[in-house]
Amino acid sequence: MAITVNDKLTATWFTPSSERKGKAKNKAGFLISPLTGMQYVGISSLNDDELDKSGITTDYIKALLDGGIKDWRNINKVDGKPLKFEVDLIDILPAEILMELATEIMNRAAVNEKERKN
C-alpha cells in the first residue's frame, strides 16, 4: 500500500468569535496553517509526557499556537497602530483569543489525523 502525503498544506484565515459579531469591516483574523506530521507528533508527545491535572500544559498550547499561526490582520497596539506579526508576540494576545485559537488548531489537526488514517 502506498503512503499518501499532503504536500500542499494550505493556511486559511480564521476569525475569532468575538470578531464575528457586528458589521465592522476591519475584523481581526489569524492565518492558520495545518500542522505538519512532525509538528503533530511533537505536540502530541508534549501533551502525553507533561500532562497536568487539567489535561493540557501551557507548553502544549504554546507549541500549537507557534506552529499553527502564520500571520494576523487587524491586530493593533494601544495607540491604534498595526502590530506586525511575530511568533514571539502571540503570547500578548488576550487569553480568551489564545484558547479559541488553540482549540481551532487542535480541531483542524484532529480532522487531518482522521483523514490520514482513511
Number of H helices and E strands in the chain, helices first, is 4, 3
- The C-alpha atoms of residue 38 and residue 91 are separated, in whole angstroms, by 23
- The C-alpha atoms of residue 16 and residue 98 are separated, in whole angstroms, by 10
- The C-alpha atoms of residue 9 and residue 64 are separated, in whole angstroms, by 16
* pLDDT at site 107: 82
Q: Which domains does the chain carry?
A: 12-117 (3.30.2220)
Q: What is the pLDDT of residues 31-81, one digit of tens each?
A: 998 887 777 777 766 555 444 545 567 888 888 899 899 999 999 999 999
* pLDDT at site 34: 82
**Beta carbons within 10 angstroms of residue 12's beta carbon:** 11
Residue 31: which of 1, 73, 62, 63 has the closest Cα? 73
Question: What predicted TM-score, i.e. pTM, was given to this entire model?
Answer: 0.76
